[in-house]
A and B are shown apart, each in its own frame.
Chain A
Amino acid sequence: MSLFHRDTPEETAFRTEVRTWLEANVPAETLHELDVTNPEVSREWHRKLWQRGWIAPHWPREFGGMGATLEQQVILMEELARVGGPYVQPSGLNFLGFAIMEFGTEEQKRDLLPDILSGDTTWCQGYSEPEAGSDLASLRTRAVEDGDDFVVNGQKIWSSGAPHCDRMFALVRTEPDPKARHAGISMLLIDLATPGITVTPIQTLTGHVHFSIVTFIDVRVPKTSILGKLHGGWKVANHVLTFERLSGSSPRHDLIAIDTLRRLSEATGRVSDPAFRDRMASAGIDVVAHMAMHRRAVERVKAGQSLGFMASVMKIAGANALHNVTDLLLDAAGSDAASSFKHTDNGQELDPLGLFLLSRRATIWGGSAEIQRNIIAERILGFPRSWR
C-alpha cells in the first residue's frame, strides 16, 4: 500500500504479482540509473515489459494496451519506481501514441501503434528549436510541398532520446506567413534515417547523452507522414501537451530522492544531527503533501473529472518538493558532495550530486515553471494577460 491509499484485495494481488516479477526480471546493471546509460538495455527492458503485457497500462485495449484501471496504472508506476528499472523512452508511449489514436489515419494506427508498444520503433519529440523555446509558436523549421513529398529544412533542439531513437514527431511550418501565429504549423512523422538528417548529441548536466540537435537539410518526407490536417499541427501538439497523465507529476522522483536522502544521511551520520533532522522533516513534509495532492488528483480522475489547469499546479508543487529534497542531499553528503568518492548502501552507490543536478530539469522541461505560473494566473485566477 502507499501512504494515502489502501489496496483492495485485488490490487494487493496485482501489486504482489508486479513486484515479484519486477524483482526477478529487472537487469541489475542499470538499477536506479538516472537516465539512459545503455540504450540496448533500455530497449530490451521495454520489450520484456511489453511481452509481460505491462508496457502500456494506460493504453486502451483496442490499440493493444492493457486497459488497466487507474489504480493498476498507479501500482505499476509505484512498483517500477521502487525497483528502479532502466529508463524507458516515454515519448511514443506517453505522447505520440495518444495523438495517433486521436488524429491518425487507419493506416497510421495500423502501422505505427504496434511498434510503439513492442519497442521496435522508438520516437522522440521535435518541438523546440534554437529560437523557439517557451514561445513554441515562433518555430521556423520549414516543410515545403514538392510532388508527393515535403522538403524539410531547419533545426530542432533538446529532442529527448534523439540519439537513440528511430523517428521523430516534429512540428514544422507549412505556411510561412499565416494570419495567426498558431496557424500554418503541421505535425510530421519523420524517420531519422532519412538522408539529410544529422543528429548531434548534447550531454546534459549529469553527463548523460539525453538530447540532441537535429538538423534537416532538404529532407524528403512523404506526404502520407503528416499526422492530422495540413496546417493543423498546433491542435495535435496541444493534444499531446495537455493530454493529462498523472504520471507527469507523480511523486516518483521525490520518493527516489528522499529514499536516497535517508540512506545517505544514515551513511554519513547526519541523521542524528537535530538541526539536519529538522530540515529533513521540512523537506519530507512537502513530499508527503505532494503525495497527498497526487492522490487527490487520482481520485478526481477516477471520479470522471479532468485535471484541467490543475496539472500546472501539480507540476509546480512537485518541482518545489523535489528541489527541497535535492538541496538537502548535497548537505547530507557534506564535504563529499562533489567528490568522486561515493557513499554506498547495500552495495549501491548513492549519487546525491547526480540527483541534485538532474532535478534542475523539473522546472524547465515540458513548459517551464514560469510558464506554468502564467497559466495559473491567467486561466485559474483570471488575471489579465501580462506582456509576454
Chain B
Amino acid sequence: MMDAFTDFDSGDEERLIRDSVRRMVQERRKPIVRQGSIVAPGTHARGYLQELEALGLSELMLSDGNIDISMVRRIAILSEEAGAGLFITPVIESIGLPLLACTGLVPPGAGIASPGMVLTAIAEPFAAARTLPSVTSTSNGQLCLSGTAGRIPFAPMADGFLLAANNQGTPQLLLVPAKGTDFELTPEPMADGSERGKLVFDGFRLSPACLLAQGSDATKATDILLDVLMLSTAAQLAGIAARVHDMACDHIRTRHQFGRVLAAFQALQHRAANDYVAVEVTRAFLYQVCDIWNEGETRRALLHALLVKSAQTAIDVAKSTIQMHGAMGFTLEHEVGWYLKAAIVASTRYGDLAAHRRLFADSNLAYW
C-alpha cells in the first residue's frame, strides 16, 4: 500500500520500531482456545511491556526524561500494531509508574520495590457522577482505604495498582498491592476475551510510603496518565481499523462471484474507498495529535475528539468488512468479528463515546 499521510515523516528508527513490533506481535499472537473452540483469537499477554522486554525492545516505549513528541509517536506506533495484531493486553496501563517517573511527579524509584505488574486504576474517568475510593489517615500514621473503583481495565492481571483516590477532597495517587484481606476484586469478562475488574476496599491498610502524590501533583499525574491512555487506546483503534480494512481488500481481491473478482464491482470498490478514507483521516489525526503533544491547552479536547473518531472508524470499518465477507464474516471462526468486539471494548475502555463528545463540545475547540 502507498505511503499515505502517516508514515511520510517517519524516520528509519520509527520504521524499524514498527517492523520489529509487527513481527513480534505476529509471532507471539496466540488465540485462546477453550474446549476446542476459539474463545478469542487475540493474545491476552500479561503486558505489552513485558513482551517487549523479552525482545529487548522495552526501551522503545519509554525514554528518559520528559514525555515528548518522539515518545508519544512511538507509543502510537506500538499501540497501533497491538491493535492491528489483536494483541489485547495492557499496553500503557502497566507502565504508569515509569511514565510518571519521566515527569518527576512521583518520587524517583517509587514502586521499584513492588513486584510484578502495576496497573493504572483510574475509576470511570469521564463519568458525569464519579466517586473514587476514599483515604483516611489513621492515628498510627497508616493510610486506610475504603470504597469502590469500578471498571478497571485488565485488573485481574495486576499485582498492584496505581490508584486514584480521594482524601477528604484532596486527590491522591497511591500504590496499592492487589492482595489483602480487606480487598476484593470481582473480575468482569469482556466481549473480546479480556477482563476488567471492580476493586472494593474495606478499611484496607497501607503504609504511608504508598502515597505517591497528592493535591495538584496527583491531579497532574492522573491527567498525564489519562492522556497517554487515551492516545494509546485511539491508536489501538486505528490499528484495528487499518487491519480490518486490509482484510476486506484482500478478501474481495480473491473471492469470485459472477465470473469475476468481487473487487471489480463498483459497489464494493466504493465501500472500500470510503473505508480507506476513514482509516487515512483517522491515522492522520492520530499522528497530528502526537505532533502537537506539547500544546497543553488543546491536547485533552483533541484526545476526546481523536478517541471518538478512531472508535467510530474502527467500528464502521469492521462492520463494513463483515459485510464484504458475506456469511463468513458472521461466524466466530473468522477473525473480523473479534476485531469488531475488540473495537467496541476499546471504545468504552476510558469513558464512553457520548462522554467524549460531550467533553469535546464543552471545550469549544472546533470553533475558532
Contact = CB atoms under 8 A, between A and B. Distances in A.
Given A278-B361, A288-B305, A292-B284, A316 B366 contact: no
Interface residues of A, number: 54
Interface in A296-322: 296-297, 299-300, 303, 305, 308-310, 313, 316-317, 320
Contacts of B1: 380-381
Given A4-B292, A285-B360, A293 B308 contact: no
Contacts of B252: 383
A373 B273 contact: yes
Contact of B4 (A277, A310, A316, A388): A310
Top 10 A-B pairs, shortest CB-CB distance: A284-B366, A377-B269, A292-B288, A281-B357, A373-B273, A281-B361, A376-B273, A293-B284, A383-B263, A292-B285
Contacts, number: 155
Contacts of B9: 299-300, 303
A11 interface: no
| Most chain B CB within a 10 A radius of its CB, from A6, A303, A384 | A384
A308 B4 CA distance: 9
Given A4-B292, A277-B361, A258 B367 contact: yes
Contacts of B35: none
A280 interface: yes
Contacts of B357: 278, 281-282, 285
Contacts of A386: 264-266, 269
A43 interface: no
Interface residues of B, number: 50
Contacts of B358: 274, 277-278, 281
B8 A381 contact: no
A380 B2 contact: yes
Nearest to A295: B288
A320 B274 CA distance: 10
A113 interface: no
A289 B295 contact: no
Interface string B278-290: 0011101101110
Interface in B353-368: 354, 357-358, 360-361, 364-368
A387 interface: yes
30 contacts: A3-B365, A258-B366, A259-B368, A284-B305, A284-B360, A284-B365, A285-B366, A286-B309, A293-B285, A295-B288, A296-B288, A310-B4, A310-B280, A313-B277, A313-B280, A313-B281, A316-B274, A317-B277, A320-B277, A373-B269, A376-B276, A381-B1, A381-B249, A381-B263, A381-B276, A383-B249, A383-B252, A383-B263, A383-B269, A386-B266
